[in-house]
Structure 1
């Protein structure tokens, strides 16, 4: 992709109560999340870059993320939240994008604390593995679910959290073939990109045996990357989707990577001490370099579910996954060598790859030392007699 890149991040966060339990869709009402969002500022100038949606829930940079239950005529009956999402407007640099997101994350944490909630970055629900529509979907909802692969698998997103990292290259134009090729490249290399973000080693209340339950269950059924085309552009018939029509003019030309686990932006979001911040910006640089690169030939229109499951289970202990991660990092570094600002961020990724260090590894170490599982209420031990 040629020309200057522009960047944005959509940052999904789970919410934890003071006793350590996850405030999920079984106990968290939309009114509770709406009360937090109501105390956050609305900046009308943001809306040129941000899609609001028909229900009006997404009017701000912060909004309740979850599942809309519809009536027979398509009207909104209720909204079942899974947490809060923060999204940035489009910025001309990784630094500005990450700084804006960090400022909004700090403000969210301050406001959420007034409501006895703490935002945390975890990739998969630590206790529940499914979200059941109750009552079952009606005819209108079934028709919506049949309208696209993503609508069909939408309930799965209720037990997972992860960022959408967005890039666009205005000088590259909006040719559907070019945009689809970029998304296909990210899709092919996704199993080697995602290990840096792994933050879901727990499922059903215990370690599940790997590092990313989110990747193992979700990528393949849902997209790794999407490209947004002009409203009249033809769409490739893939399952899951590789391209879709832009909902607002500002989305045209956007390339969105959707397969990372949730990663912390500010220290309070960390699921374990020592996970560190700086990953969102580093991953944006990695994606920008991979899209700049002209040497790596791999392309896939749909994610390789087997490769993702292997990566999710073994991470960088798998030689093939480790070699693939090294290859994409080397290619991105070479492609960005003449662009200022990316070196330190890519160095962070190189250090973590060298140590085979992921947030999931830190979470497991914390668990093994008696620190418990983020999102699972701490057990109160009886006093000694």
Structure 2
């Protein structure tokens, strides 16, 4: 069984005034000037989708909400941040190295334009996204055709990674079964990453407002299939039609908050690999359990049930990996479980000390910002 890995990581920014740079006061051109200065790798195109609007030409692209005239012509894109995506790797560590290198380049170029990368997984000031001007008839029709696209009001205020994993020689039934398994165990996987304790300009009553608001309406896992007849009907979707050959059979785990310590992503990819190999965990779900995710989002490892099941999931993955060298990558997750403290706790402590969301956010990507 051969595994392949990739990561998509969304980066939020503070602007030169020190304000959170979102769609309310940031233009497409503000981020586009950063993208233009970043390199192009022509060989990426077999692996990375460019998309209809041509915005996704590089390993970095502007994540946002595309606006259309009364036709398929894109007339604007309201930005929320910049996404970094890696090419496909047969090794977890090389995927992490590429992500780190891409982040360093982005950080360097963005800083030249007065933008500082910061970690947060839910917009700390805007609770919802409402397109202005309101959507036209063409846009409404487009959104109605794709159920998941109707949650733009959520994804425009959330930031998180897609952890991508593909396995050679698995049937589509097996892949969908893995998607159901990851969806079921998602409330116990995501607490390792919680990093969104701010909401509406202050502290939220919990650890991940992103998970609380998002899960149940957006997919926890997504399986890319080759043919229309392989799609399952569910809202949110568990399956999606592959748009390029390289996507066929890909499993995307989408439920995590963003991390500024990329060794956590390495650990999570190793965890997912172990869960794919594991035969002991029998839970399956086509759609995420919103109530359980909300409990997880509020209390994290402070909740005994979440703690017990997260430990069980981690142990099952470790046993399944056996003597695979990737088992060593799980160490950061073991440390987080032992301490029961995650990024959100750190952000809350900094905020309580300095009294400012922006100052707390400036402490993220900390070591990287020094170099």
- The answer to whether the superposition gives a TM-score over 0.5 is yes
Alignment deviations for residues 171-203 of structure 1 (CA, whole Å, 9 cap, x no partner)? 32xx33212111110000000000000000000
Q: CA 1:110–1:187 in 2, change beyond 3 Å: closer, same or farther?
A: same
Q: Is the 8 A contact 1:126 1:375 kept in 2?
A: no
Alignment deviations for residues 314-358 of structure 1 (CA, whole Å, 9 cap, x no partner)? 111111111110011000100111211331x21210111110011
How many residues are aligned here?
362
Q: CA 1:210–1:377 in 2, change beyond 3 Å: closer, same or farther?
A: closer
Provide the rounded CA distance (Å) in 2 between the counterparts of 1:83 and 1:289. Answer: 32
Aligned partner of residue 223 in structure 1, secondary structure: coil
Provide the rounded CA distance (Å) in 2 between the counterparts of 1:374 and 1:352. Answer: 25
Q: CA deviation at 1:377?
A: 9.7
Q: CA deviation at 1:375?
A: 7.5
Instruction: State the partner residue of 2:36.
Output: 38
Provide the rounded CA distance (Å) in 1 between the counterparts of 2:4 and 2:130. Answer: 38
Listed as ranges, the gaps of 5+ residues in structure 2 are 363-371
Instruction: State the partner residue of 2:303.
Output: 318
Q: Which runs of 4+ in 1 moved over 6 A?
A: 375-378
Q: Is the 8 A contact 1:219 1:259 kept in 2?
A: yes
Instruction: State the partner residue of 2:121.
Output: 123
Q: CA deviation at 1:18?
A: 3.8
Instruction: State the partner residue of 1:61.
Output: 59
Listed as ranges, the matches of 1:1-385 within 5 Å are 3-172=1-170, 175-265=171-261, 277-343=262-328, 345-370=329-354, 372-374=356-358
Aligned partner of residue 259 in structure 1, secondary structure: coil
Provide the rounded CA distance (Å) in 1 between the counterparts of 2:15 and 2:157. Answer: 17
Provide the rounded CA distance (Å) in 2 between the counterparts of 1:30 and 1:138. Answer: 20
Aligned partner of residue 309 in structure 2, secondary structure: helix
Listed as ranges, the gaps of 5+ residues in structure 1 are 266-276, 379-385
Aligned partner of residue 296 in structure 1, secondary structure: coil
Q: CA 1:374–1:295 in 2, change beyond 3 Å: closer, same or farther?
A: farther
Provide the rounded CA distance (Å) in 2 between the counterparts of 1:315 and 1:374. Answer: 24
Q: Is the 8 A contact 1:219 1:308 kept in 2?
A: yes
Aligned partner of residue 153 in structure 1, secondary structure: helix
Provide the rounded CA distance (Å) in 2 between the counterparts of 1:278 and 1:19. Answer: 31
Provide the rounded CA distance (Å) in 2 between the counterparts of 1:286 and 1:341. Answer: 9
Provide the rounded CA distance (Å) in 2 between the counterparts of 1:147 and 1:296. Answer: 35
Q: CA 1:374–1:328 in 2, change beyond 3 Å: closer, same or farther?
A: farther
Q: TM-score, normalised by structure 2?
A: 0.95
Alignment deviations for residues 65-99 of structure 1 (CA, whole Å, 9 cap, x no partner)? 00001111121111101000000000011100000
Aligned partner of residue 83 in structure 1, secondary structure: strand
Q: CA deviation at 1:231?
A: 3.3
Q: CA deviation at 1:371?
A: 5.3
Q: Is the 8 A contact 1:12 1:121 kept in 2?
A: no
Structure with the larger helix share? 2
Aligned partner of residue 261 in structure 1, secondary structure: coil
Instruction: State the partner residue of 1:269.
Output: none
Aligned partner of residue 369 in structure 1, secondary structure: helix
Aligned partner of residue 236 in structure 1, secondary structure: coil
Alignment deviations for residues 120-141 of structure 1 (CA, whole Å, 9 cap, x no partner)? 2211011110110112211111
Provide the rounded CA distance (Å) in 1 between the counterparts of 2:106 and 2:259. Answer: 16
When the two chains are superposed, the root-mean-square deviation of aligned CA atoms in Å is: 1.4
Q: Bigger CA drift: 293-302 or 367-376? A: 367-376
Q: Is the 8 A contact 2:347 2:360 kept in 1?
A: no
Instruction: State the partner residue of 2:365.
Output: none
Q: CA deviation at 1:20?
A: 2.9
